[in-house]
Amino acid sequence: MSTTPVLALRGICKHFGAVQALIDVDLEIHAGEVVALVGDNGAGKSSLVKVITGVGPADEGVIEWQGRTVRILQPRDARELGIAAAYQDLALCENLDVIGNLFLGREVRRLGVLNEVAMEQRTRELLNTFSLHIPDLRVPVASLSSGQRQGIAICRCLLGEPELILLDEPTASLGVQQSVQVLDYIEQLRERGLGVMLISHNLGDVKAVADRAVVLRLGRNNGFFDVTTTSQEQIVSSITGATDNAVTRRATPEWEL
Amino acid sequence: MTPPEPPSAGPSSGATGSPGREAGQWRKDLVEVARRRLRGGELGSASVIVALAVIWAVFESLDTSFLSPRNLSNLSVDIVGTGLIAVGVVFVLLLGEIDLSVASVSALAAAVFAAGNVRYGIPEVPAVLLALAVGAAVGAIQGFIVAKVGVPSFVVTLAGLLGWNGLTLYVFGGQGSIILDDNGLVVTLTHYYFHDVAVAYGLAAFGTAAYFLLSYRNARRRRAVGALPTRGMHEIALRTLALAAVSFAAAWTLNQFLGLPLALLIFLGFLVCLDVLLRRTTYGRRIFALGGSVEPARRAGIAVVSVRVSVFMISSTMAAIGGLFLASRITSASETASSGNLLMQAIAAAVIGGTSLFGGRGRTWSALLGILVIQSIASGMALLGIPVAVQLMITGVVLLAAVIIDTLARRTMHAHGWA
Ligand SMILES: Nc1ncnc2c1ncn2[C@@H]1O[C@H](COP(=O)(O)OP(=O)(O)OP(=O)(O)O)[C@@H](O)[C@H]1O
Ligand SMILES: [Mg+2]
């Protein structure tokens, strides 16, 4: 593509002890584009999300934000750039209530004290967007169903006007209606010109909303696909390793051996 | 205009985004809210209040001077020193940590003040500031080792308990104790009473009115934007009445003796300010978040280390302040100030009052409730002439009961998916 990507990763490596979770991973996300990141369990998708959000910074590699090389060493760095994420493990504070969780780290204040009313109002608006019905916003989130908790994690990353949103299996525990709404909302985000990275094992969802799909396999890039022109089977065989795709060879000629 | 109808029935403010919400649904939600609230936490402080009432009733029936204005007035001053230390302990417990050094730090602060003021002739105000600075510095050191180096707080503050105790002995230099200036500022703290009856009544009236106005305004604001009220108007009225009854009864009792003690006023001031800090500010929200789980808080961009260090500094500084009040009460600073069960009392007060040992749950007011229970038992048994040995055992049993309740509460919360 001709325009500068919002986010570009080049040669990202990340290891946990002896495990190489990410090896030389490249990725680009443009504004107004939904990129699906797919791969089998343990392929390194969540690790890549954590690299981008500064939760688990990369060992090696370059991160470019809107064409500028940046260092993301802690969560605050990513947040200041405008990166928000809904993590696979949700990362909610169990003893805080819904509002406390949504606004954690970016509380609304009035005369120096928390403005609970404003935060509650905004929370209700967001929850309504996804038809989440939570009667009492004051109970600890530990007492909510996992779908409700996931909804909160998604709502949380929409606060604070991010430019890039990373969704790690956002619909894994959502109901049918809520899943549809999340997918619809992803399309709205694209129309508003945001960059979205969607991680999902549901290739139907990927087909439905994503523009491009990036396949990770055993911590390495294993294919870049244009979703509209690629069949589901091609993506599946790339995920499972049945093919090492021609596109990949062209994109990263030296990726193996 | 406060119609009893739910907001969706009136001219909708639109901002709620739920024009279709049915009146029935709204009511159901309200009931659900009330039910959950009752199950979580609110029962905890209610049970302490009941326990306190029982303790007072028992002692009063055994010895009629227990509820005399004189005894209650003394009780209200006796709770202040340890109570202030306990407030600091509440903060550390909220993080899910422990501070075993508070008693040693309180003795150290008193020693620094006494030595500075009496022995070296430093004026009182700078000497007090020096003592508080020592407290804050101790907290900074211990907090840094816990938060940055990662040593368990139990071990760090246990080392502190010994180390600061040693430093206290060093400051005294074998002198044993230092008598404070009788007319000095620090001694005044616990020996001054507002003899004018208007002060105690005025404070009771002011507190009640402020509570009512704030709750009422809050409820109105929530109603205006269609949010579920945290408390209904009936509940606000009931709570205001209860608060009025307690505070005017306390004011009346204190006025029967010498009037409102300055120390009690200061203690209440600390409780209110720190309660606002904990529940109404960003900083307090962060403490709760860290007490629940560190990783989500870190991912939300919270500066984990500095919040944790600052909490240890609050704990040590409150210990230093408490130490000055304890010294003030006996008009001397002594080597043995931290001995006995001051540490246990401070921690027990926080826990008995309903602050969880497991972090993330508690309020500053639990320090007040807990220390009232402990001091009431001590005072009642002293009146009855029960030996200290028995007092210690009974306080131990009460503490154990509180911890068991805390653990069971946490278990049921887990069972309901609450913790
Ligand atoms: N904190 C960690 N400590 C040690 N190893 C880790 C850690 N996080 C991830 N790994 C390892 O890194 C590899 C990639 O894990 P990751 O969670 O990124 O996979 P994933 O693609 O998100 O899988 P899934 O589809 O199951 O969510 C795995 O082999 C995993 O064991
Ligand atoms: Mg994952």
Cβ of A45 below 6 Å from ligand 1: yes
CA dist A23 and A4 (Å) reads 24
A79 neighbourhood in chain B, CB within 8 Å: 301
- CB-CB under 8 Å, A55 with B230: no
Q: Please work out whether the CB of residue A41 comes within 6 Å of at least one atom of ligand 1.
A: yes
The pLDDT confidence band at residue A129, using thresholds 50, 70 and 90, is: confident
- Closest residue by Cα to atom 27, ligand 1, is A41
Which pair of structure tokens corresponds to residue A171? 């619909």
Contact (Cβ atoms closer than 8 angstroms) between residue A120 and residue B227: yes
Residues from chain B contacting residue A92 (CB–CB below 8 Å): 296
Q: Which of B325, B321, B379, B370 is nearest to B344 (CA)?
A: B370
CA distance A99 to chain B (A): 11
Interface ipTM above 0.95: no
> How is residue A25 annotated by DSSP?
E
Does any CB of chain B come closer than 8 Å to the CB of residue A247? no
- Is B27 or B345 the better-scoring residue by pLDDT? B345
Span from the CA of A56 to the centroid of ligand 1 (angstroms):
11
pLDDT at A249: 45
Residue type, B345: Q
- Enter the tokens of residue A107: 């509380």
Q: Which tens digit of pLDDT belongs to each residue from A55-88?
A: 999 999 999 999 999 999 999 999 999 999 999 9
- Paired tokens of A18: 């002896």
Lowest mean pLDDT among A154-168, B16-30, B197-211, B292-306: B16-30
Distance to chain B for A212, nearest Cα, Å: 28
Buried b (16+ CB within 10 A) or exposed e, A89-126: ebbbbbbbbbbbbbbbbebbeeeeebbbbbbbbbbbeb
Cα of B338 vs centre of ligand 2, distance in Å, is 52
User: What one-letter code names the amino acid at A246?
Assistant: A
DSSP alpha helix (H) spans, A103-231? 116-129, 146-158, 176-191, 203-209
For residue B415, pLDDT beyond 80: no
End-to-end Cα, chain A, rounded Å: 28
Please report which ligand is nearest the Cα atom of A45: 1
Atom 2 of ligand 1, nearest CA residue: A16
Q: Is B18 in CB contact (< 8 Å) with chain A?
A: yes
What are residue B392's phi and psi, to 5 degrees? -60, -45
Closest Cα in chain B, distance from residue A208 (Å): 28
The ligand placed nearest to the CA atom of residue A40 is: 1
Mean pLDDT value across residues A139-168: 90
Contact B241, B249 (CB under 8 A): no
Q: Which of residues 316-375 of B touch A (CB under 8 A)?
A: 359-361
| Most confident of the ranges B36-45, B302-311, B356-365 | B302-311
Q: Give the number of whichever ligand sits closest to the CA of residue A41.
A: 1
Contact yes or no for A168/A85 (Cβ under 8 A): yes
- Residue nearest atom 5 of ligand 1, based on CA coordinates: A16
Dist CA A129 CA B212 (whole Å) = 36
Mean pLDDT on A205-217:
93
DSSP string computed for B361-411? ---THHHHHHHHHHHHHHHHHHHHT--HHHHHHHHHHHHHHHHHHHHHHHH
Does the domain made of B42-195+258-410 have the CATH classification 3.30.70?
Answer: no
Pairing of strands A212-217, A220-226: antiparallel
In which residue are the tokens 């044993």 written?
A: B176
Q: How far is CA B103 from the centre of its chain?
A: 16
Q: Where in chain A is the domain with CATH 3.40.50.300?
A: 1-82+163-257
> Residue B225's closest chain A neighbor by CA?
A121
Q: Tell me the CATH number of domain A1-82+163-257, given options 3.90.1010.10, 3.40.50.170, 1.10.1040.10, 3.40.50.300.
A: 3.40.50.300
Distance CA A71, CA A94 (A): 30
Instruction: Give CA–CA dist B239/B247, Å, rounded.
Output: 12
Distance CA B297, CA B288 (A): 10
Are the Cβ atoms of B289 and A93 closer than 8 angstroms? yes
Q: At what angle do helices B124-144 and B304-329 cross, to 10 degrees?
A: 140
Residue B32 pLDDT: 63
Query: What chain B residue is nearest to A96 in terms of C-alpha separation?
Result: B289
Alpha-carbon distance of A98 to A92, in angstroms, equals: 9
DSSP code for B68: S
- pLDDT score, position B8: 37
